[in-house]
Amino acid sequence: MSWRHQDPATLADAAVSSVALVADLFAQSAAPGFWVWSREAHQAVADAVLALPDADLRTLARTVGKDPGDVAACRGLTVSLADRFRRRADAPEIARLAELVWEAECRSRLRMQTGSERPARLATPDAREILRTSRPPAAPRGPVDAAVVIPFRERGGDSDRTRNLAAVLHALNDQSHPRDRYRVVVVEADSEPRWESVYAPWCDTYLFAENPGPFNYAWTLNAGVVHGARPAELVCVLEADILVDRGFIERAVQRFRTPGTQAHWPFVDMLYLDEGSSHQAVGERCAQGRPTVDRDALRGVFLRRTPGACVWLRESLFTRIGGYDERFTAGWGGADNDFAWRADLHGGLDRHPDRMVHLHHARATDWFDAEGAGATAYEAFPWCTWPPDSRIGDLSAFRSG
């Protein structure tokens, strides 16, 4: 398999993706590790585009480099490059560009989506405004099919993060699966319950997990499963910025009816939306009440086969492998990788092609260095060695006194 087996439009789109990625700090910050590992390949593509003999094409490339969110410039460059790949595939500079594009595609876990022109004057609703139009939870009293556990922390005021959780709860209360057959659990891990009055009325269980120190994602999730999700047969770990469609829970429950199914990711590639597209997606799903968002129209960066964001599994499998490794106390991503490897070993992790999106929020720290542990923190970590020799999700673990 080589670039010569690829459609010219596909090659052109990938080339523009590289030009945009090199210039887009938002896209790079979605997964800094993925970016660092493929940066040289994307830069080589951008340099090759800027070295082409066509002055008009180079002008478009420079425009995208200055403003990677310029939809018109991105589309114009894509059309022009597709024409070159189609008509002049054997020209040395075009063949070389195609080779570099294919190398980047084979190496990178990032891919930009240009999206379409956004509606003018997109509003930025706060959490309370979003939740005013949400359906209330049904307060299940009997057995439920599933429980969705959402970890959360926000120590400032209203922000993208608080907006995102409100949108997630709005979407989870608008599902095709009967509302009394699933439970929604929000776990706020902090020194005090800062957001209980905002979110508690819109979930079935609001759990405050006292932890004044660095946010321990793994422990927070374990606490949510142990003290909020059980005894549901199915558990979904959902991050507080994943906006789901109306059929999200119904599809998952149906998938577990297949004998032997123990766990799955409901997506292949996750689209991490930029700020403007996040406003647009929240408006479509929550304010307008659409069953899903028009993902093809949104701008963002795809993270290919990311291990986190959302995973479904039987509660029995979660318990059997001891939940998430609570020794991951710094940085991001490691706990998800470790959990996925252990879940796949013991139960098998399937993938399904649901079209999911991640809402934008500020990233104050590097993916590898969220709490100042250093970029080498994960390199020396004993992956897949979690010994759950004590109670997981112990709510007193970080309590003073």
Chain segment 309-319, per-residue pLDDT in tens = 999 999 999 99
* Closest to 332 (Cα-Cα) out of 370, 372, 383: 370
Among 110, 143, 158, residue at a domain's last position? 110
* pLDDT for 55: 94
Q: Is residue 60 part of a domain?
A: yes
Q: Is residue 253 part of a domain?
A: yes
Judgement on whether residues 94 and 149 belong to the same structural domain of the protein:
no
Judgement on whether residues 48 and 145 belong to the same structural domain of the protein:
no
Q: Is 330 helix (H, G, I), strand (E, B) or coil?
A: coil
Instruction: Give phi and psi for 148, each to the nearest 5.
Output: -105, 125
Q: Is residue 397 part of a domain?
A: no
Chain segment 27-49, per-residue pLDDT in tens = 998 888 889 999 999 999 999 99
Judgement on whether residues 229 and 97 belong to the same structural domain of the protein:
no
Judgement on whether residues 291 and 190 belong to the same structural domain of the protein:
yes
Q: Please give the tally of structural domains in the chain.
A: 2
Judgement on whether residues 105 and 155 belong to the same structural domain of the protein:
no
Q: Is 168 helix (H, G, I), strand (E, B) or coil?
A: helix
* Sign of the CA dihedral with 380 first, then 383, 387, and 390 last: positive
244: left (phi over 0), alpha (psi -120 to 50) or beta: beta
Q: Is residue 119 part of a domain?
A: no
Judgement on whether residues 33 and 162 belong to the same structural domain of the protein:
no
Judgement on whether residues 39 and 185 belong to the same structural domain of the protein:
no
Pairwise CA distance, residues 206 & 187, whole Å: 6
pLDDT at 199 over 70: yes
Against a cut of 0.75, is the pTM above it? yes
Chain segment 232-243, per-residue pLDDT in tens = 999 999 999 999
Judgement on whether residues 17 and 69 belong to the same structural domain of the protein:
yes
* pLDDT for 367: 45
Q: Is residue 162 part of a domain?
A: yes
Q: Is residue 248 part of a domain?
A: yes
Judgement on whether residues 105 and 153 belong to the same structural domain of the protein:
no
Q: What is the CATH number of the domain that holds 318?
A: 3.90.550.10
Among 81, 110, 139, residue at a domain's last position? 110
Kindly list the distances between the CA atom of residue 47 and the CA atoms of 44, 56, 61, 275, in Å, as whole numbers in the listed order.
Answer: 5, 16, 10, 27
Judgement on whether residues 249 and 213 belong to the same structural domain of the protein:
yes
Q: Is residue 366 part of a domain?
A: no
Judgement on whether residues 206 and 238 belong to the same structural domain of the protein:
yes
Q: Is residue 53 part of a domain?
A: yes
Chain segment 270-286, per-residue pLDDT in tens = 999 999 999 999 999 99
Judgement on whether residues 200 and 342 belong to the same structural domain of the protein:
yes
Chain segment 334-385, per-residue pLDDT in tens = 899 999 999 999 999 999 999 999 999 987 554 444 444 445 556 677 888 9
The residue range of the domain holding 264 is: 127-358
Pairwise CA distance, residues 88 & 97, whole Å: 11
